[in-house]
Each structure stands twice: as C-alpha cells, then as structure tokens.
Structure 1
C-alpha cells in the first residue's frame, strides 16, 4: 500500500487550530506505531492533549484516548472522521483518515477502495490506482459474503479514475467487471452505478447512442431513494447537452441542485447550468449560475477543471469573450496540473475557437413525446420522491463525484 502522506498537510485545512493540531497528532502517531495503544492504556497520549469536534461523538472519544481500543475500533473512528471531513469540504483530512483506516485493517477491500476514491478527489491518481488495485485483489481472494460487492466497488472506482486520465478503454473494462460482479449477487443498486459509469464513459468516447442505452438501464435500476439518483439526473442532462438538447437538460440541472451538497460537485452542476442557459439564451439563469461559481471560487473552494471549461462555453454563447477566455485558460491550467487529458483537449479546442470568435452552442429541440421527454419525466418523478436536503449518514462507496 502507498506510504503515509505527510500528516502536516492537514494543518492548513482545518480552521480551528486546536482541532487541527489534534488531528495531526493522531495521524502522526498512526504513522509510527503498529498498534494504537500506549502502556498507560490510552491510544494517543491522553484526552487532555487532544481536542476534537464534539460532532464526532464516540469517534472523538476513541481517538482522544479515553479508553484502550483494538485496531478495528480505531479504524471505525477514522472512518467517522473522513465522513465528517468530506461533508465539510476538507478533502485532505478525509483522505488521510481514510488511508489510516485502510492501514489499520489491511485485509479490508472496502477500506482500500474508500482510500482510492478519496485519492481521486485529490487528483492523486497514481496513489489512487495503488489503492484500487489493492482493493480488487483483496476482494478476489476474500471468502467474505461481501466479496463480490467489494470487487464491484473496487473496479467501479478504478474505472472512474481511468476515465479521468482519458483511458476510456481501460475504464470500460473496469466498469463492466463491476457490472457483472454486481449482477452475479443481485445488487441492483450497484449494477445501476455500473450502468451509470458506463454511460459517462460512452459520453466521453463520443458514443452517444450507446450512452443513451446505458442511461435507460441506470434509470430502471436505481430506486428513488438511492443517493446517486441526483447524480444520474445531472449526468443524463449532460448527455442531452452533448446532443444539443440544452433546453431539455436545463430543468434537470435546476432540479438536482438542492441535493448536491459538496461544493466541488455544486460548481460542476452550476457550470453546466450556465452552459445550458447560454445555449437557450436565458440570461438570468446564466448570470446567476456564473456568479454562484465565482462566489465559490473566491471562497477558496476547489473547482474542477471541467467546471471552468463548461462555464467558458456558456460565456461564449453570450459572446462574453474575455470571460470565456479567462475561464478556458483556468480550465487548461488546472486540467494540466491534475492530469485530466480529456479536459485539456476540450479546453485547447475551445481556446482556438474563442480566438477566431467561433459561435457557441445552439439548442436543439428533441421530438415531442420521444425518449428524452419520457426519461426526463421519469427522473423528475424519482427526484420528487428523493427527500430534499437529505444526506446519507455516510457517503456510499459506489458514489463518485459529479465531474464530467
């Protein structure tokens, strides 16, 4: 498994100084001791030395050293920290505690896959590949009842990481392994995630008819309460936008925003909303979405390169050439830094078009009562049954970021 990351990285991310110091102390101790317990019966030097957020509850008590605990219990406490940190926009803290949990339970495929997923959020793709490869291997040799599920989750995560790198052939192989493993054990929700991922791979490969077929399977397999239903609605809207159906995509972007809590995901939805509004010449929605992205950027939130690219396309539709070029250059720089080959190619092509003032998107109206209308109504029904503002207690391992 990958060597431990420098624990000092979390100090700049946690706003409260004593909590930041406490998280760092715990991570530093986990780097150098094999069993998190001291001779005095406390794991990390005593409760008086550490101050962790009260919202962590029992996990805080375990990590603050009030009792002696076995590694599995400490791993559960670390998992509680990464879930808490991810919901609060602290991706480095989440990653480090997910990796700590994976090291405390080195035979757990699920722990390794979670570490891989959070590496992907940090654009640590080589590191993420190591974790996903380990997760898949552990699942394959496991005799646990969850072995096929763990195998599916590992390959779905690995496939998403390969997609980020523009290796869509490899991504498709991993996603299909995940699909088959999920179907072998009758896990429809996990199979839905696989169809969902296969859809996005087909989109990026330019195979839009095949993407639409996988979209239909994903809609059929997901139950309304599944946490990925809003992400699916967003991604199907994105598929329609790729086919020029921007006015059909726009209502879905509006409908999913109340369900998207992570800032790094909201900016992607907002950027796509701005692009669709640009194509439809809806100045109000475009400007509000653009300003919302700008506020998140100025607040220091991580903005994926793809969000700047789609925002630039929205700007181009309104012939706001300076805005469009600024966003495009940001997309190009960030995609280069993060190794996102797809967005690099898209941004380069867009930049060339901006410099010759090539026109932007144009809306296409699909046939009335056709497949687009039927799928949109089905998704809107599922979203109406999906409780507004609801969050799962933990981010499910098959939920990957909205980043197209």
Structure 2
C-alpha cells in the first residue's frame, strides 16, 4: 500500500497505513517507536493532501479515543474515494475494507468495500462484500442499500463470467426498487444494468426496452446518466450503427466522466470512429485510452478489444494484432468469456488481414425507435449538469453514491 501513496509524501503514506493497521488489528504495529511518537508522526501528515486533512484529523481523534467509530469509518471512505480517483487500487481497497470492518453491521460501508474492489477489478472480493451488504440491509430493512447490493452483486457476477446470476440479481433489484415509493432513480439504475447485460448478450430488442425505461426514470442530472448514454452508444456499435453512435459518444466524452470510466468510454468512441472510416478520430481516441489504461484495469480487456475491433475495420493489422493480444492477456486473469471470444475473433481477423462483417445487424422494426432513443439521449446530454447540480434537499443518488 505504501508505494501507491508515496507521491503524496512518505508521512501521508505512512499515516494511511498506520490508520488501517490500527483499525484492522486494534494494536500497535511491531517496532521500537512508542505510541505517542507514532501519533506525532501521524499529525505531521496533516497538510500533505489538503482535501484529506479533515479525514486524517478525524482518524487521529479516533486513535486517541475521542472520535466515534462511524466518524472514523467515513474518514477512511473519503481516503478510499480519493485513492480510487487516482487509480491507487491497494490503498483504496484497504481503506474501504477497514471502514467495513470497523462497522461490520453497516450495509453502507460493506457496499463501499464492494465498490472499491469492483472498480479495481477484484470481482470475487467485491462479491463477498456485496453479499454481506445484502444480508445486513435485509435484516435492518434498509431497502435502498438492499437494491444497491443486488446491483453490485450483479456487476460482480457479470465480471466473473456468470451472466445468468447477474441477470437474477438485476431483476431482484428491479422488483425491490419498484416497491420503493418515490425512488425512480434507483429503478432506473436497475433498468440501466439490465440494458447493458442484454446488449452484451445480443438481446438488442430487450436492451432497447430497458434503455427507454431508464431514460424516462433517471432524474435529468443523475450522475450515471452519461453512462447510460455511453451504453446506448455501445449498443449502436454492437449493431454496426456507427454513424449515429459517434456523435452520441462524443457528447458523452465531452462531459466530466469519472476517471475509472474514461478508458471504456474512449475505446467505444474509437471503435465507432473506425466504423465511420475516420482514422484520425480513431487514433486520437486510442491515444486517450493508452494514456489512462494503466491506472484502471476494470475495463482494460474490453477497451483493448474495442481498439482491436476498430483497427480491424480500418485495416490497421499490426495495431489490431497488438490490441487483441493485449486484451486476451488481460482477459486470461478473469475477464468475462464474451470478451475473450471477441478478442480471439479480432486476433484471427488481424492475422488473416480480413475486415470483419460490419453491415448493420438491426431489424427494421427496432431501427427507428433505437435511432430516436439515441437522439433523445444526445439532447438530454446538452442540459446535463451532473455534479454541479445541487438540489435544495440532498437525498437519494447524490448522497448514496454509485455501486
């Protein structure tokens, strides 16, 4: 954990490690330094990362016995979020799991631990935390958290190559969300996830139905709305409708997309650009992927697959082979089977120097509604304000965060 944080200074890295150690083990770590000396060093770290000064101060108070466990857990989650934004996987996971360990009955902290693991590609560990969050939420009748735990577990199962289990969790979340009065945003998330799964499995008509419902139910400025627009763009790409997909994806990537989602976003845009024959736009988007992919591995296999598919469409055979091989290398560590199959096909096309089929694969009866949906989403993106939108009473999605 220490090397990943040393850019912020040795004292800060040590302070985070020390806080996690004390929270997880409850005792002083081995070594000659006395507890008072360690606390002095802990206080010396305050100021190294100004946005986290309050969190470190809270943790210092907890270590001295004057702050509560919930306050300390939330301080650890703030550090975890900061680390996630920078792709520092181990400290993000360790801090989130320490927060969950500090309050083992809290579904919210278990959800945060699951999310940190999922974002950093640790699907099996994420599933453990989501299952615990689901159990705690059901016991305490925390139905928002219960729905979100099922969504998170669906994400984890999909990443582990079990789409049937993922679908079951998404539908359970959908049924539970419908019973929550005034929580359409949460029902929209369930439809969004069902749409993405159906798209990946080739159920384009089902995906269109879920996408339209999600568009109707998401609040105008919901943080995940750009992700829905991206996934709709990917649906168009999967159906070889590259021309309408490209402007929609360009609109998405002009927005402040979360760092962990930029890799997949730019790669989908690259693939759409290649489908329209725009080699310059493809190369620019591919460069954006390559600059970011080392920080976040969550979508790396799928991103390289997108780049390989795009390179094949442009007859860039050397690049296609390199990208497909990289996708397969990453996928061997646990990516979904469909990603491995797609990358294998792209590698075969590259080695045979054969452009893959790219004629539209869409039935006439859904082509019109799908293009209309893409236009509606592009229009909605023009007024989306996301994190800058502040309601009079903060509740719901902004307060709870993503899964």
Query: CA separation in 1, counterparts of 2:331 and 2:5?
Result: 22
Of 24, 42, 45, the residue aligned with 2:39 is: 45
Moved more, 299-308 or 288-297: 299-308
Shift of 1:60: 2.2
**Does the 8 A contact of 1:95 with 1:119 survive in 2?**
yes
Partner of 1:6: none
How many residues matched? 384
> CA 1:131/1:379 → structure 2, altered by over 3 Å: closer, same or farther?
same
Q: TM-score, normalised by structure 1?
A: 0.87
Shift of 1:54: 1.4
- SS across alignment from 2:315: coil
**Does the 8 A contact of 2:239 with 2:361 survive in 1?**
no
> CA 1:263/1:134 → structure 2, altered by over 3 Å: closer, same or farther?
same
Shift of 1:31: 2.0
> CA 1:94/1:396 → structure 2, altered by over 3 Å: closer, same or farther?
farther
2:315 maps to 1:323: no
**Does the 8 A contact of 2:93 with 2:116 survive in 1?**
yes
2:7 maps to 1:15: yes
Shift of 1:221: 0.6
Partner of 1:110: 108
Query: CA separation in 2, counterparts of 1:49 and 1:58?
Result: 13
Partner of 1:123: 121
Give a deviation string over 1:316-344, Cα, whole Å, max 9, x none: 11111110000001000011113432211
Map 1:191-202 to 2 at 5 A: 191-202=187-198
- SS across alignment from 1:64: helix
In angstroms, what is the RMSD of aligned CA positions? 2.8
> CA 1:370/1:240 → structure 2, altered by over 3 Å: closer, same or farther?
same
Give a deviation string over 1:257-307, Cα, whole Å, max 9, x none: 13344433112111111111111101221121122223334x755461100
Moved more, 255-264 or 177-186: 255-264
> CA 1:197/1:136 → structure 2, altered by over 3 Å: closer, same or farther?
same
Query: CA separation in 1, counterparts of 2:55 and 2:87?
Result: 19
Partner of 2:26: 33
Partner of 1:178: 173
Query: CA separation in 2, counterparts of 1:171 and 1:252?
Result: 27
Query: CA separation in 2, counterparts of 1:76 and 1:19?
Result: 18
Map 1:159-170 to 2 at 5 A: 159-170=154-165
Moved more, 277-286 or 119-128: 119-128
Query: CA separation in 2, counterparts of 1:87 and 1:308?
Result: 21
For structure 1, list consecutive stretches of 5 or more residues without a partner in the other structure.
1-8
Moved more, 18-27 or 371-380: 371-380
Query: CA separation in 1, counterparts of 2:158 and 2:331?
Result: 13
Question: Where is the helix percentage greater, Structure 1 or Structure 2?
Answer: 2
Partner of 2:215: 219
Shift of 1:151: 0.6
Partner of 1:289: 285
Partner of 1:149: 144
**Does the 8 A contact of 2:69 with 2:102 survive in 1?**
yes
Partner of 2:358: 362
Shift of 1:49: 4.9
> CA 1:170/1:391 → structure 2, altered by over 3 Å: closer, same or farther?
farther
Shift of 1:88: 2.9
Query: CA separation in 2, counterparts of 1:111 and 1:349?
Result: 41
Give a deviation string over 1:123-149, Cα, whole Å, max 9, x none: 222211111111111111114xxx111
Shift of 1:10: 4.2
- SS across alignment from 2:7: coil
> CA 1:265/1:14 → structure 2, altered by over 3 Å: closer, same or farther?
farther
Query: CA separation in 2, counterparts of 1:43 and 1:234?
Result: 51
Partner of 1:272: 268
- SS across alignment from 1:338: coil
For structure 2, list consecutive stretches of 5 or more residues without a partner in the other structure.
29-33
Q: TM-score, normalised by structure 2?
A: 0.87
Query: CA separation in 2, counterparts of 1:137 and 1:337?
Result: 29
Query: CA separation in 2, counterparts of 1:14 and 1:361?
Result: 48
